[in-house]
A = this chain, B = another copy of it.
């Protein structure tokens, strides 16, 4: 029964869709129709599903290799469990394209990641089969324990199954969840989908020791021996046994990322996410070769050069050496890069440890994923004023990956933190100089830059430090000031030209630093133009524009607003009363501030 899907050698007819007329897949509108088929048909379903995934990938690209590896597992789970009454929860969502196909979204997948198409990840609002949304790694067991507890409380006869990859299992929260599960003993089934890969090959002592049984059993979980995830017979048997078990149980399934498509099997890392490609040769369809370099590649190149001249520089990635460009850095400086796994919390505190001993660690982490390490940035880096450098790639709106992947909160949460410098370059040349500023300085320093192609400006021959907290006026005008940060500076410059055509003269400022903000320059510009538009690819609430407002509110005003609160410093231990007085928020201080405001007559 397992047939060709077990070997990964798809027939040419399946691969190229020559026999599409007779496809069973057409008849599978939902998992219930799948469950009405005899088990002997499942091998063919697997072939067809795999062929369709390859067709889809060749046309629209995307996360592809992970889904090829879970074809049989997806079919088996929906066949053995009564979904969606039984709750099936996937981690991350990279591996869930097949799940989407079997749950009524086959046609829609041609428009995946487009605004009128399905998400590339899992979304509760998209289907009752997407039991819990995903996008970040390692959340499935936590959600599954919660769902299993709630189902049990209701006395409902539903099973709950989660599928977590070995990559996602390196995330600390998956350990927290498994440890809780081992104590709670909720009726949760965990499928450990072990393909030896995160996006890159899996890292960590657990992957290296191959002692998964010891790991799960040490947490009090029943563990069933690993099964070949491409052998449908064995897999169905194992899943039926899993279904029959009562308490918390783990089934170890071994899969091959990219299974069934030879180029992806040979290089599952390179095929994790792909551009559209030609099926026969596996040749990727590239964009124009004269396109500007990506922000990522400029970052990687600049870091490599800074590391050449400064032996203190080391680089850290949380399981994304390719996405962050550090694969390139690794080739040049193989002993100076650390891949810590999907472990942003550890990445940041590990970096703080390195910095405490005089190194200059650069944590290259996507903006949305660095959210995982907010506490560590506060507690381990900034509070101790250690010179850790954060390179936040994929900041701002990222397009097709959607809301789980937008990096639209970083300026807000970072600019609250004392001691930290927060900057965003307007182009790739500024990016390399900001990186030099961070490396040659001795402060914690965050640089955020977006996904995609940089503007394409010429690079100065050498990255060199810029003055911290200094903005740059790119164009002077009288009627309005456009104060922009990062990638939005380019849009602001174009806007100024559009305004000129309408007879409106605009100043354009590249703020460059969100913290410290160039308050002097802003006050001067505000006094001159009297109208300011701030622009950021970030949440407006609490973001860059609010920092500008905060600065101007103390200088100018119609309504005069004075804000009292804890200043931009870490407050040491002591009596709360003293701390309130120091912050100026006790009754006496409030009265004093208010009286000055009234007496000052600074009201416009």
Contact = CB atoms under 8 A, between A and B. Distances in A.
Interface string A82-100: 0000000000000000000
Interface stretch (A68-76, A252-260, A405-413, A424-432): A405-413
Given A145-B350, A172-B176, A415-B542, A182 B206 contact: yes
A397 B580 contact: yes
A573 to B, nearest CB: 3
User: What is the oligomeric copy number?
Assistant: 2
A563 interface: yes
Given A208-B183, A415-B541, A416-B409, A556 B556 contact: no
Contact of A351 (B146, B406, B545): B146
A208 B544 CA distance: 48
Contacts of A587: 491-495, 498
A480 B594 contact: yes
Interface string A130-159: 011101100100111111111101100000
Given A205-B220, A359-B150, A590-B491, A416 B133 contact: no
A571 B540 CA distance: 13
B343 A176 contact: yes
B217 A204 contact: no
A136 B373 CA distance: 13
A582 to B, nearest CB: 9
Interface in A446-476: 451-452
A494 B591 CA distance: 8
Contacts of A209: 182, 217-220
Interface in A167-189: 170-184
A543 interface: yes
Contact of A150 (B184, B358, B380, B544): B358
A244 interface: no
Interface residues of A, number: 182
A488 B584 CA distance: 11
A369 B547 CA distance: 25
B559 A552 contact: yes
Interface string A335-362: 0001011010110111111111111010
A379 interface: yes
A566 interface: yes
Contact of A563 (B397, B412, B534, B561): B534
B176 A170 contact: yes
A582 B549 CA distance: 23
B561 A552 contact: yes
A350 B543 contact: no
Given A150-B359, A379-B136, A565-B545, A482 B204 contact: no
Interface string A196-240: 000000011111110110110111110000000000000000000
A119 B565 contact: no
A400 interface: yes
Contacts of A506: 594
A541 to B, nearest CB: 5
B399 A146 contact: no
Interface string A576-590: 101110010111101
A290 interface: no
A383 interface: yes
Given A205-B220, A502-B595, 12 more contacts: A142-B380, A146-B355, A150-B353, A171-B176, A345-B372, A401-B573, A412-B413, A412-B542, A482-B590, A532-B560, A544-B565, A556-B558
A379 B404 contact: yes
A270 interface: no
A548 interface: yes
